[in-house]
Amino acid sequence: MDSTDGMLGGQKMENKKWGLSVLTAIVVGNMIGGGIFMLPASLSHVASPMGTTFAWMLTGFGVFMIALVFGNLALRKPELKAGPQSYAQALFSSPKAGTVAGYSMTWGYWAANWSANASIIISFAGYLSTFFPVLQSREVLFAVGNFQLETGRALTFALCTAVLWAIHWILCRDFSSGGKISVLATTAKVAGFLLFILLLGGSLELAFAKDDFSFVRPGGETVPLLKQMNAAAVLMLWGFIGIESAVMLSNRARSQKDVKRATLLGLMITVFIYIFITLLTMKAVPLAQLQESQKPLVDALNRAIGGGGGMILALLALISLTGSIIGWIVVSAEVPYQAAKNGLFPSFFARTNAKGSPGRSMFWTNLLTQVFLFSTVSGTVGQAYNFAAIVATLSYLVPYFVTVLYQLKLVVTGETYQSRWISRTKDGIITFFALLYSLWVIKSGTDDWLTFVLGIGLFASGLILYPILMKNRGEEADKPEGEGMLPAKKALPFQQIK
């Protein structure tokens, strides 16, 4: 592709700015993605309905504090439009240290998206099995040693792969269409969930019983309420991953005020839907069935009003998950694209195709997402989803934590506040609670050390690759602001791929 065509294409793409409705749709769509459709089953493995309720209260409050931090930084630092990677860079006065920090955040967030995108696509396959039961077939195709490849798992892998690359093809031709599709999908999603709440809520006894407080592990161990909340916290945060979507896309927003409004409005809509749907599902489906369910919301509605309702909900799930997959691929491709334009990632990722789409960034994002889709071959949809979700959540925590630290720096130094002590004090309180919540979730994540190491390791692996990927960016870190946005003169080996 001619570089001039790519430059003109990029200008056309960035002229299509997104307003409040599109940004809110992307925020809601990305948060209420695969999470809500599998979360009740995931939570049933670690907490009782009452433990889940308390965990929702703490998680909702903590994420609200983080949302306020993101929204505040969008207004106070409108020039930092690349999200956590920009905040990480701005934490340091040294250009070299800032570049390393910005690169690390870009890598960490980008790497988390590989796993996150895979988990949403896996959830899509789980709900499609409602219409095509063969996706759950246990018939063995072939066996090698202790490994057996079942028909359902093979078909699920093939389906997930096809969905991923079909969306890649669409976005390569019209990247801005991702926003339009998100609005349609999110509207259908919210309307459907409100109907679900009304139907299920009207058929259940909503009062908590004594058994709703206790949770017993398969081995017979009774888990205290506080430990239930700790275990649920990491899974619940996964349900809110995407709160930063409007910030990550702020370069395409009409106004930074819209970025903050979309973040807060999207969170309020999401919290309402999450709490009611999770608790209603846990009340409707027996624990043993819920823990094995690959489509818990369908199972809940089937028990409430019959099979027809479940089929309708499964269709709604497929529509909304399609919007979520598109929204997340858009955000995932945008992260290295914007970082590369600001000298924080290899210049290769800043290239666009003739249609103005960040094709190269999107290709490598989806190729690495494909790696995580192989988890469908070795386990059930539910197992693959839980693995991908927890690994992704722990990887996201570092960029969130750094964002809070940058807000703390502004509060402590007084930068952007002048003599406004009331605003500074208010933001200081918000930052304190956001920091406390971030540390709590990180601590909760250490309960499963293997998954914790995988999640944090995925983030840290970028530092090992830094000398290779950023070799030609080293000199740019010492240049005045703006010069670092120029393409590197020498391409890396993989940069020859079109």
Q: What is the pLDDT of residues 67-96, one digit of tens each?
A: 899 889 988 998 887 788 889 999 998 888
According to the model, what pLDDT value does residue 444 have? 67
Angle at 421 between CA 419 and CA 426, to 5 degrees: 140
User: Which of the pair, 377 or 132, is modelled with greater confidence?
Assistant: 132
308: its two tokens: 């027809």
Residue 280 domain flag? yes
Residue 356 domain flag? no
How confident is the model over 190-206, as pLDDT tens digits?
888 888 888 887 766 65
Question: Which residue reads 């309720």 in tokens?
Answer: 53
Judged against a pLDDT cut of 90, whether residue 432 lies above it is answered with yes
According to the model, what pLDDT value does residue 379 have? 58
Question: Which residue reads 């916290």 in tokens?
Answer: 233
Mean pLDDT of 414-435: 90
What CATH code is carried by the domain that includes residue 190? 1.20.1740.10
According to the model, what pLDDT value does residue 473 have? 64
Judged against a pLDDT cut of 50, whether residue 482 lies above it is answered with no
Residue 9 domain flag? no
According to the model, what pLDDT value does residue 476 have? 47
Report residue 269 CA to chain centroid gap.
17
Q: Which residues contact 481 (CB under 8 A, 6 or more apart)?
A: none
| R_g over Cα of the chain | 22
Report residue 213 CA to chain centroid gap.
30
How far lies 109's CA from each of 32, 114, 452, in Å? Answer: 19, 9, 16
According to the model, what pLDDT value does residue 222 have? 75
According to the model, what pLDDT value does residue 345 have? 92
Distance from C-alpha of 244 to C-alpha of 263, rounded to nearest angstrom: 7
How confident is the model over 131-188, as pLDDT tens digits?
888 888 888 887 787 777 888 888 988 999 999 999 999 999 888 777 778 888 888 8
DSSP per-residue codes, 357-376: --HHHHHHHHHHHHHHHTHH
Which band of pLDDT confidence, cut at 50, 70 and 90, is reported for residue 3? very low
Judged against a pLDDT cut of 50, whether residue 243 lies above it is answered with yes
Distance from C-alpha of 328 to C-alpha of 123, rounded to nearest angstrom: 14
Q: Which residues contact 237 (CB under 8 A, 6 or more apart)?
A: 59, 63, 393, 396, 397, 441
DSSP per-residue codes, 381-404: HHHHHHHHHHHHHHHHHHHHHHHH
Residue 102 domain flag? yes
Which band of pLDDT confidence, cut at 50, 70 and 90, is reported for residue 212? low
According to the model, what pLDDT value does residue 394 have? 66
Judged against a pLDDT cut of 70, whether residue 218 lies above it is answered with no
DSSP strand pairing (215-216 vs 147-150): unpaired
User: Which of the pair, 463 or 409, is modelled with greater confidence?
Assistant: 409
According to the model, what pLDDT value does residue 138 have? 82
Tell me, what DSSP letter sits at residue 250?
A: G
Highest mean pLDDT among 47-56, 124-133, 336-345, 379-388: 336-345
Judged against a pLDDT cut of 50, whether residue 485 lies above it is answered with no
- Residues β-bridged to residue 253: 18
User: How many other CB atoms are found less than 10 A from the CB of residue 287?
Assistant: 15
- What does the mean pLDDT of the chain come to? 79
Highest mean pLDDT among 184-198, 202-216, 233-247, 387-401: 184-198
Burial (CB < 10 A; 0-12, 13-18, 19+), residue 383, is middle
Q: Which domain holds residue 211?
A: 18-344+365-467
SS3 category, 347: helix
Residue 148 domain flag? yes
Residue 203 domain flag? yes
Residue 304 domain flag? yes
How confident is the model over 331-375, as pLDDT tens digits?
899 889 989 988 889 988 999 988 888 999 999 999 999 988 886
Nearest one of 376, 450, 494 to 115, comparing CA atoms: 376
Is 487 within 8 Å of 480 (Cβ atoms)? no
Nearest one of 235, 313, 331, 244 to 274, comparing CA atoms: 235
Distance from C-alpha of 24 to C-alpha of 40, rounded to nearest angstrom: 24
Is 57 within 8 Å of 295 (Cβ atoms)? no
Instruction: Give the start-end residues of each E strand in 224-306.
Output: none
> Considering its fold, how many domains does the chain have in total?
1
Residue 285 domain flag? yes
User: Which of the pair, 309 or 285, is modelled with greater confidence?
Assistant: 285
According to the model, what pLDDT value does residue 366 have? 94
Mean pLDDT of 387-408: 79
Which band of pLDDT confidence, cut at 50, 70 and 90, is reported for residue 412? very high
Distance from C-alpha of 379 to C-alpha of 300, rounded to nearest angstrom: 24
Distance from C-alpha of 334 to C-alpha of 350, rounded to nearest angstrom: 9
